[in-house]
Amino acid sequence: MDVILSLEGLTKRYGDHVAVEGLSFDVPRGSIFGLLGPNGAGKTTTIRMVMRIILPDAGQVFLDGEPVDDDRRRLIGYLPEERGLYRKMKVLEHLVFLGTTRGLPSNEARKRASAWLERFELGEWADHKVEDLSKGMQQKVQFIGTILHRPRLLILDEPFSGLDPINARQIKDLLIAMREEGVTVVLSTHVLPQVDELCDHICLINRARPILTGALEDVRTRYGGNTWEVAGTFGAADVGQLGPVAAVHQLGERILAELAPDAAPRELLAGLLQLGDVETFVRFVPDLENIFIRAVEEDRQHVA
Amino acid sequence: MWHRVYAIIRREYLERIRTKAFWISTILVPVFLGAMMIIPAWLAARGGGQFKVGIVDMSRRFAEPVKEAAAKLLAEDQEKLHITFVVEPVGTDPQAAREAVKRQVQHHELDGMLVLPATLPDAGKPEYVAPNVAAFKLLSVLERAVNNAVVQARLTAAGLNPSVVGKLTKRVGLKAMKLGAEGKETRDEGQGFLLSYGFMLIIYISVLMYGIYVMRGVLEEKTNRIVEVIIATVKPFELMLGKILGIGAVGLTQFVLWGVMLLALTAPGAAGILGLSGLQLPAVPPLLMVFFVVFFVLGFLLYGTLYAGIGAAFDTEQEAQNFQGVITIFLIIPLVLMVQILNQPNGTLSVVLSLIPFFAPMLMFLRMTLVSVPALQVAAAVLLLLASILGAAWVVGKIYRVGILMHGAKPKLRDIARWLKEA
């Protein structure tokens, strides 16, 4: 696997409070990587350590195999959770300023910023003060500031908070387009449906520690287990009577048949065919929210 | 590092130069200062006016001499002051005459009344009774006229010739000559003091004002939540440095603009156009101007750094107030100590005070305007200031690094000490 960003044993404590403990994961190049976890799990602390805004007590961060230092971190486009703009500055001036702090010459920054403002339909706002913009427009300006220096790796902390669905869609489409161009994106969020469609890799953090890491498809298979979604001329109760079925769940109109881990799916299918006609027989793919809740539950039981 | 610091400086400078507040203060401060200097002189020049004063002469002999003395004074001084005296005849009842004139004053028929007691010239104090006793020019003329008339009467009574005595007791006076470094003597009628005081006040106000701008700027970045966006690429120290230098450059720009305005005002012909003939500005030695800028810059760097630390440590200006007060006191102490320096600019205490970095920007400069300070002392003051600035930047840089990301609970001194260890 071609890894762009690698965290090794990252740890941060504040007095007795452990914010992040022994966190390791690799971000594959060209992926959209979800750093997930409940509020207060340590996501923001982790990202701040990657960006060297706070320094870890232990552990290291590598970008393209080299330790991240104050120069290398500028190769990353970072949108912090706590973000803002100078309210009195004009939009275009502000973007030029952000571009120059990231090493762009000011005329180049101006050219790129104007193009992005046009693309986000903010062209006519270029000479307005930031405070005249709506919150959603300000968010877009912040996003432009993050990508202005064309970073190969983006780290976005709760990028969709405060955005309406249309603006969120716009940013999502852009992220997908950037992935096509080879840009890697690390997304931190606790709002799962937003990233379900985007992420191909995830790391789930709970109470300062990673509890689930890997490609989303693998994780889904692992948590989906031997569960099958079925439909046909039979009811949930009938399915529950079949030999290989350990449990039956009903999700609205859908019937989920959970088999014992070693049971063969064809035995279930054979049983169903005896009940009547089968219209649907597919492996159940859990969404991130299901996985998240189950993983956090298991982690709690594990600790208890 | 420097292109990022430059980006910060550029933003701070341009954003502040473009504000209305900058231009308003740049224009209003000199207008205000100029008005304070010019208006009283202008008023005095065209001052005077018409006064009608009643005289109640209970001594029955001084009314005419006072009138004559006053006329002489008014003629000598070439004042545009006109006093018309109305002598009230004093009959058998002097008090009745006094009451009669008092009524006229009350009815605004007279501006005031001069009461000369019966005991003159041996004893007693004349009185001036009027609704307005703040007409200083009038009062001064009346007082001198009464004095002259009475003294003259006393001299004559003692058998002395008043005009001879007048010649013999003529005031000698004392001319203050400032001895320059090269032995050059120049006349100084207090411009020296005004100059020193004015420049010191400008350093004080500018350092305080621009220092607080730094603090507010830091607080604004915390409140705006933009600080994390910036320190993801710019080191906190670079941000702090850029902010202080950018705001300092705004201060220097303001001085340059004031300098240009002053030059325009003193240019030949300009004063005449403005109708301010007679306005004379003391010539300022160029070297002193250089040191004025040097000491402003050094003072601002020291105090600006400290104010930046306070901005970083707190969330709001209210929370920062106590610590801000402590620093402001350091700025005020030199103003309090000024008298000591004025009396003995080269005394041991003055030398020591002017070397202390917190006071040096004002007190060393003050001494330099008063006397020629040994170059070694000036160099020592500058070096000590530079060392303190570096020390302050080192300590504040640490507070800054931790403080700018802190929100919520107001930190105690203990917390800040802990940040210093952690950073």
Q: What is the pLDDT of residues A206-239, one digit of tens each?
A: 888 888 888 988 888 887 778 888 888 888 888 8
Task: From B38, B36, B19, B5, select the one nearest B253 (Cα to Cα).
Answer: B19
How many CB atoms neighbour CB A85 within 10 A?
Answer: 24
| Strands, sheet with A227-232, edge to edge from the N-terminal-most edge strand | A245-251, A254-259, A227-232, A278-283
Query: Cis link prior to B121 (omega < 30° from 0)?
Result: yes
**Contacts with B235 from chain A: Cβ below 8 Å:** 70
Residues B370 and B272 in one domain: yes
Residues B237 and B382 in one domain: yes
Task: Please give the Cα distance from B382 to B399 (Å, whole number).
Answer: 25
Give the model's confidence band at A182: pLDDT under 50 very low, under 70 low, under 90 confident, else very high: very high
User: Does B405 contact A83 at a Cβ distance shorter than 8 Å?
Assistant: no
Residues A57 and A176 in one domain: yes
Residues B270 and B399 in one domain: yes
Residues B289 and B348 in one domain: yes
**Does the reported pTM lie above 0.80?**
no
Q: State the nearest Cα–Cα gap between A165 and chain B, in angstroms.
A: 24
Q: State the nearest Cα–Cα gap between B4 and chain A, in angstroms.
A: 5
Query: Which CATH number is A242's domain given?
Result: 3.30.70
Residues B199 and B138 in one domain: no
**Contacts with A89 from chain B: Cβ below 8 Å:** 11, 15
Pick from B228, B233, B405: CB nearest A74: B233
A66 vs B340: which has the higher pLDDT = A66
Across chain B, mean pLDDT equals: 84
pLDDT value at residue B418: 72
Q: Chain B, 152-181: which have a CB under 8 Å from a chain A CB?
A: none
Chain A touched by B412 (CB under 8 Å): no
Residues A256 and A174 in one domain: no
Mean pLDDT confidence for B406-413: 68
User: Does B225 contact A83 at a Cβ distance shorter than 8 Å?
Assistant: yes
Query: Which CATH number is B118's domain given?
Result: 3.40.190.10
Residues A236 and A280 in one domain: yes
**Contacts with A101 from chain B: Cβ below 8 Å:** 4, 7-8, 230, 233-234
Chain A touched by B212 (CB under 8 Å): no
Q: Which two tokens stand for residue B122?
A: 């041996």
Residues B109 and B206 in one domain: no
Task: Please give the Cα distance from A258 to A237 (Å, whole number).
Answer: 13
Mean pLDDT confidence for A180-188: 93
Number of domains in chain B: 2
User: Does A103 contact B235 at a Cβ distance shorter than 8 Å?
Assistant: no
Residues A187 and A61 in one domain: yes
Chain A touched by B7 (CB under 8 Å): yes
CB-based contacts of B382: which residues, under 8 Å, 6+ apart?
Answer: B294, B298, B360
How many CB atoms neighbour CB B355 within 10 A?
Answer: 18
B349, part of any domain = yes
Last residue of a domain, one of A185, A217, A249: A217
Q: Which two tokens stand for residue A73?
A: 């971190």
Residues A101 and A133 in one domain: yes
Chain A touched by B115 (CB under 8 Å): no
Q: State the nearest Cα–Cα gap between A216 and chain B, in angstroms.
A: 29
Residues B208 and B127 in one domain: no
- Rounded to a whole number of angstroms, the CA Rg of chain B reads 31
Helix (H) / strand (E) containing B53: strand B49-57
Mean pLDDT confidence for A188-196: 82
Last residue of a domain, one of B162, B181, B215: B162
Q: CA nearest A69 in B: which residue?
A: B233
Q: CA nearest B404 in A: which residue?
A: A53
Complex ipTM tops 0.85 = no
How many CB atoms neighbour CB A251 within 10 A?
Answer: 10
Name the residue with tokens 């060209």: A30
pLDDT of residue B81 exceeding 60, the answer is yes
Residues B313 and B418 in one domain: yes
Residues B266 and B195 in one domain: yes
Domain around B157: 49-162
How many CB atoms neighbour CB B59 within 10 A?
Answer: 19
B400, part of any domain = yes
Residues B133 and B273 in one domain: no
pLDDT of residue A163 exceeding 70, the answer is yes
Task: Please give the Cα distance from B189 to B173 (Å, whole number).
Answer: 12
**Contacts with B231 from chain A: Cβ below 8 Å:** 53
Q: Are B295 and B365 in contact (CB under 8 A)?
A: yes
pLDDT value at residue B299: 94
Question: Which stretch, A190-199, B216-225, B244-253, has highest mean pLDDT?
Answer: B244-253
Name the residue with tokens 């001198």: B144
User: Does B3 contact A54 at a Cβ distance shorter than 8 Å?
Assistant: no
Task: From A148, A154, A163, A153, select the one nearest A94 (Cα to Cα).
Answer: A148
B37 vs B199: which has the higher pLDDT = B199
Q: What share of chain B is helix, strand, coil (3-state, %, to 5)?
A: 70, 5, 25
Domain around A124: 3-217
Which of A75, A87, A101 would best serve as a mutation to test chain B binding (most B beta carbons within 10 A)?
A101
Pick from B4, B225, B228: CB nearest A101: B4
Q: Which two tokens stand for residue B110?
A: 């007279």
Residues B144 and B225 in one domain: no
Residues B399 and B305 in one domain: yes
CA distances in angstroms from A158 to A39, A43, A151, B210, listed in the order given: 11, 10, 18, 37
**Contacts with A97 from chain B: Cβ below 8 Å:** 7, 10-11
Q: Chain A, 111-140: which have a CB under 8 Å from a chain B CB?
A: none
Across chain A, mean pLDDT equals: 88
Number of domains in chain A: 2
B351 vs A262: which has the higher pLDDT = B351
CB-based contacts of B54: which residues, under 8 Å, 6+ apart?
Answer: B85, B86, B87, B88, B101, B104, B105, B110, B112, B113, B114
CB-based contacts of A285: which residues, under 8 Å, 6+ apart?
Answer: A220, A224
Last residue of a domain, one of A217, A242, A275: A217
Q: Show the DSSP H helices in B225-285 as ranges.
A: 227-231, 236-266, 270-273
pLDDT value at residue A110: 96
Q: State the nearest Cα–Cα gap between A108 and chain B, in angstroms.
A: 14
Residues A25 and A112 in one domain: yes
CB-based contacts of B265: which residues, under 8 Å, 6+ apart?
Answer: B34, B271, B274, B279, B281
User: Does B11 contact A97 at a Cβ distance shorter than 8 Å?
Assistant: yes
Residues A140 and A45 in one domain: yes
pLDDT value at residue A59: 93
Specify burial of residue B371 (Cβ count, 10 A radius: 0-12, 13-18, 19+): middle
Last residue of a domain, one of A173, A190, A217: A217
Task: Please give the Cα distance from B341 to B355 (Å, whole number).
Answer: 12
Residues A108 and A243 in one domain: no
3-class secondary-structure state, position A247: strand
Give the model's confidence band at B191: pLDDT under 50 very low, under 70 low, under 90 confident, else very high: low
Residues A110 and A26 in one domain: yes
- Strands A17-28 and A278-283: what pairing? unpaired
Poorest-pLDDT segment among A60-64, B38-42, B349-353: B38-42
Residues A258 and A116 in one domain: no
pLDDT of residue B248 exceeding 90, the answer is yes
User: Does B230 contact A101 at a Cβ distance shorter than 8 Å?
Assistant: yes
**Contacts with A84 from chain B: Cβ below 8 Å:** 224-226, 229
B304, part of any domain = yes
Specify burial of residue A88 (Cβ count, 10 A radius: 0-12, 13-18, 19+): middle
B34, part of any domain = no
Q: What is the pLDDT of residues B204-228, one digit of tens each?
A: 888 999 999 999 999 998 888 898 8
pLDDT of residue A97 exceeding 90, the answer is yes
Residues A191 and A284 in one domain: no
B179 vs B24: which has the higher pLDDT = B24
Q: Which two tokens stand for residue B195?
A: 């100059």
Q: Are A212 and A201 in contact (CB under 8 A)?
A: no
Mean pLDDT confidence for B345-371: 90
Residues A206 and A229 in one domain: no
pLDDT of residue B138 exceeding 70, the answer is yes
